[in-house]
Chains A and B, each alone.
Chain A
Amino acid sequence: MYAVETQNLTKRYGKTHALKGLDFTVNPKEIMVLLGPNGSGKTTLLLILATILKPTSGSAVVMGLNVTKQPTRIRQILGISFQEARGFWRHKPAEILRFHAAICGVPKSERDAKIEEIMKDLELWEARKKLFMHLSGGQTKRLEVSKLLLQRPRFAIFDEPSSQVDLRGKRKIWGEILKLRDQGSTILVATNEVREAEFLADRVTVLDQGQSVVCDTVRNLKDKIAGGDVVELQLEPGPNSIEELRERLSTIEGTVNLVTAGENQYRAHVSMAEAWVPKMTSLCYEKRARLLSVRVTEPSLDDVFLHFTGKVLENPANA
């Protein structure tokens, strides 16, 4: 059974279609990353699964519970970290966490110790005496994530969990999300940050204009791009003609394109470089050509997105 399953899920805001008949699944205890540009429907999907929004049509089931028919029961097993932190302006971070812990049923005896531990972990301890309205963007974001780390729900939703957070903070948050998964939570992360997706994802669903374009592991998605891997070679020709060697290289299975990049230098666009490179080295050995250097570059999730949607992700930070 899937932890999350949507069928033909549609959400309209007036005439705007945020989701268009989305079929989507998440396996238990995996991190599913939703990758897509702004306006692709990521947040709408998360809010529907969190029972905050009602779908226009179609169905969505979380841990066997229907989002429209059993919202309160779903709320008892899920937690959501919003894209923009939601806090009470005149409360301090620890008070916000204490309220969250209490209403989510974290035992009273454990609350204060856990809150202190998480606040120290996420570098919020220094800001403990500030009111929410005086926290920086990064601090409010870390506080938002802290709620889920405190609650440790069976189904955790993170909407752009590390946006506005510095690199060290990002690493910390990502590490905690992985830990949450390892402890048995099913996790859904929406992001338009490629590094975040690569770091966290067990599987990635690429969303575009409210539809799932493709869903697979990061490795498989990259492998699905024909010629996505780039292998740069520098050779010292053997007794055989370099032209013949070039000809043979271009016929190796998986070669999409081979161009000359300089004297005795070539750039090959190949599918699955890990299979292509051993064949290439065997060929060089056979032709007695000396391989001076090899550099393999795999496609990024940006390339994956471009390949499947024909568009680039909008966040300039990913460029």
Chain B
Amino acid sequence: MTELLRILQLAGNDFSYFFRTKWLMAVLLSLNLSDMLVVALVFQRLMDFNYFQFFVPAVVVMGLFVAALDTGRRIWLAIREGVIHYYLSLPISTKGVVIAYLLAGGLAALVYSSSLLLIALLVLPAQAVWNTFILMPFLFILAMGLAGIAATLAALASTHAEFFFAYQQIVQIVLLTLSTVFYPIHVVEQYLPPFLVNIVSHNPLSLATEAMREYTFVGTPVQPLVLLMIFLTSMPFAIVGGLAYLWALRAIQVKGKL
């Protein structure tokens, strides 16, 4: 059996674990659906533009984001419960374990956000659904990058639950606030200095959200440069996250724990 097959088996196992956590599914879905069907509609009345059309595609990317971040919780649990020792005894390399987790995180996030996309397509007319298929691989890369961030947080938090969840909240607030998920870029330009505007416009969440709005729902032709930007801004997160998780596993092998 090849290493690749074992990586896929491990990834498949972790992927299924995400969807088995029913309370998490319930929490995520209720939050995302209330964002989509309540918040967007309420804000629609307060804004001078079609906020519903603006925000619903963003909720799909937000779903991708929070689902990918859950990879960190699963890694943290595996470290706390000692399952990580089990993984390290399996016929798979330590790097393979890391890759499997990132793949699983990316895939789980993509599948979860796809379910939100289906709901979004029911409530908001989409001009070019097929563009979503072009976006998918890049959303997957983004999700792997976000899973990488989560892996880093899990490695940093060690076995302290409160630290992990605090780090996760901070990252969530920073990445979402400094993005165009909630407000358009011209609003950001009014209130933030140019260097932060630059960060907001290059935040992979902004890029993915804008791509989802423009290509899937408005129907603008897909710009390869934007896809390349999503790839280039997401990959560093995936690489850093992978290295952080690898470092954590090596630390466990040397110290017995984190």
Contact = CB atoms under 8 A, between A and B. Distances in A.
B91 A86 contact: no
Chain A at the B interface: SS class? loop
Contact of B17 (A75, A82, A88): A88
Contacts of A103: 6, 9-10, 90-92
B92 A86 contact: no
Contacts of A78: 89
A47 B256 CA distance: 9
Interface string B11-36: 00100010011000000000000000
A13 B252 CA distance: 11
A156 to B, nearest CB: 12
B82 interface: yes
Contacts of B46: none
B90 A104 contact: yes
A105 B254 contact: no
Nearest to A80: B89
A13 B1 CA distance: 35
A318 interface: no
Contacts of A71: 93-94
Contacts of B254: 53-54
A: interface residue count bin = 20 to 34
B81 interface: yes
Tell me which of A51, A87, A88, A105 has the highest count of chain B C-beta atoms within 10 A of its own C-beta: A88
A285 interface: no
Given A53-B256, A72-B91, A84-B82, A90 B1 contact: no
B21 A90 contact: yes
Interface in A68-123: 71-72, 75-76, 78-80, 82, 84, 86-91, 99, 102-105
Contacts of B86: 82, 86
Given A75-B91, A82-B85, A91 B20 contact: yes
B92 A75 contact: yes
Interface in A46-67: 47, 50-54
A71 B1 CA distance: 17
B115 interface: no
Nearest to B85: A52
Given A78-B89, A103-B90, A86 B13 contact: no
21 contacts: A44-B256, A47-B256, A51-B88, A52-B85, A52-B253, A53-B256, A54-B253, A71-B94, A78-B89, A82-B82, A82-B85, A86-B81, A86-B82, A88-B83, A90-B21, A91-B20, A99-B9, A103-B10, A103-B91, A103-B92, A104-B91
Interface of A: 13, 44, 47, 50-54, 71-72, 75-76, 78-80, 82, 84, 86-91, 99, 102-105
